[in-house]
Structure 1
Amino acid sequence: MTHLATERNNHDLACRGGDHRRCFRADGRDHDLSDEPQTVMAARKTAAAAGAAAAVMTVLATGYLRLWRSKCLNWGATAEEVARPMPGDEFLPHPELLATRAVTVAAEPAAVWPWLIQIGPGRGGAYTYDWIENLLGLDMHSANTILPQFQDLSVGDTLALGSTGPRMRAQIIEPNRALVFASDDGDWIWSFGLYRTPEGTRLVSRNRIRRPAASPLGKFLYALVMEPGSLVMERKMLHGIKQRAERTPVMPGRAGDITQPSPTDDWSTPTDPARDVRR
């Protein structure tokens, strides 16, 4: 008995000292633990990697939300444009997400409008990364010419964003001034405004979005993934319209007949149904 106790103590000391080749089981029998350190080490490495990844994601998320989110949502827009009411604001007064992005087009609003009015799947496309849009089944093929057959969009016309995506209904059409779409469920309002400037035209895009069914975690992940993704796509779209409009000739006198809204125009008055007609 004394011999057995001495041997067990020696093996216990060996185990605690790092010699895991031979240790005792709880029942006193010898047990080869030569494989256990590798398993424990692998588990520790996995836990450490997961912890490091979580720390990096936390830093990135905090940095985005505190430092970069405003720039992402308001890319290209001035503080005045961000604060200025636009057509369509009245349809969703209290959105969960509000993004206002803009670009300067060195052309008259009349040169921008034909490209804008033909936007949409199965029409003039979205002037962005078609291959990404089509991975989502949106049937986007960005046109490089003005398409006469798609210049007559009317209030009430709908654009289906894929077979399972939202249906966007034209709510306001004011040639050379404003184009507003609203999803059938009312949770997404997409407005475009054309504002004449000494340099040409400010093309302003505003998205107002509400996601009532999303969980807090879902909304958080949406902010981290979809908001930067939307910037990539919308920046390309605005530049795509800009590039096309700047090479579009305008008939003499055509732009001179256009009355553009000034930066102080008040679009905040709720839209009367009678106003929602093409002008």
Structure 2
Amino acid sequence: MTVHGIHTIDTGFVRPRFDAAYLIVENGRGAFIDCGTNFAVPRMLDALRQAGLTADDVDWLILTHVHLDHAGGAGALMAQLPHARLAVHPRGARHMIDPAQLWAGASAVYGEAVMEQTYGRLQPVPLERVVEAPDNHMIDLAGRPLRCLDTPGHAKHHLCVYDERSNRCFSGDTFGLSYREFDTANGPFVIPTTSPVQFDPEALHASLHRLIALQPEAIHLTHYGAVEQVEKLADDLHRRIDAMVALARSAGELPDRQARLMEALTDLYAQHAAAHGWIGSRATLCELLGMDIELNAQGLLVWLDRQARH
């Protein structure tokens, strides 16, 4: 369904309805928000065709942040968009111009072979096509203002995009994860994403307050799709951030703390999903959230260790 010229694109990463990018169309011109991995490029171009546009009609690719499930395909996609510029948080710009450090960091964790298979080799974006988007930077899409907001907490290089025309926000990972499989009569179910390595609970709380102050009609998440009931969901996120931080603190310095924290997070999410009216099994919850539980535990522990050093 297309609302306000906003098209949701399933990038195909991991599973259906897991990773979204967006296309905004205004007066025959287009802007992508996030782009998935290299393997999503055909899907992005197909979305243009379905919207009645060509690659020549795209003015912008806006990245919420440079984590590879959001931005890994940026270089490959920009090579297909002759007139587009790439807008990115100032802290992320250098990684788009020269992705070597981004690749090296992720490869150190996952290995070269897994990186190639999962994301494809990262391609640089020419310096002259990259636009740094600091707080309140305005992007003009054929007369439609898109405002970039500095929203740290998930990552220091994170921005959200406020579309004044539709009164909607594109939140990347700032407004958490909400998979449609958890929807019930009570609406969407949302959890924070605290993946490594720059999770900061105080900053994330502040960023959520900032988004809610805009009183948006809906928020478009990368994982996955548009959600309404935004004030209720923000309250849920605030409570769950605090609960997750408390679980991380209780894990302390135990030698098996990551395994313990993953189990505790699973318990927390299962309890909250059940209270939300979700009737799936624990096994199904682990199937849908397993990757996120592991990343959330890792990010919480990196944050905990950083706190201990200061």
Q: For the pair shown, which has the larger CA radius of gyration, 1 or 2?
A: 1
For this structure pair, what is the TM-score category when the shorter chain's length is used for normalisation? Answer: under 0.3
Higher relative CO (Cα under 8 Å, sequence separation at least 6) belongs to 1
TM-score calculated relative to the size of structure 2: 0.22
TM-score calculated relative to the size of structure 1: 0.24
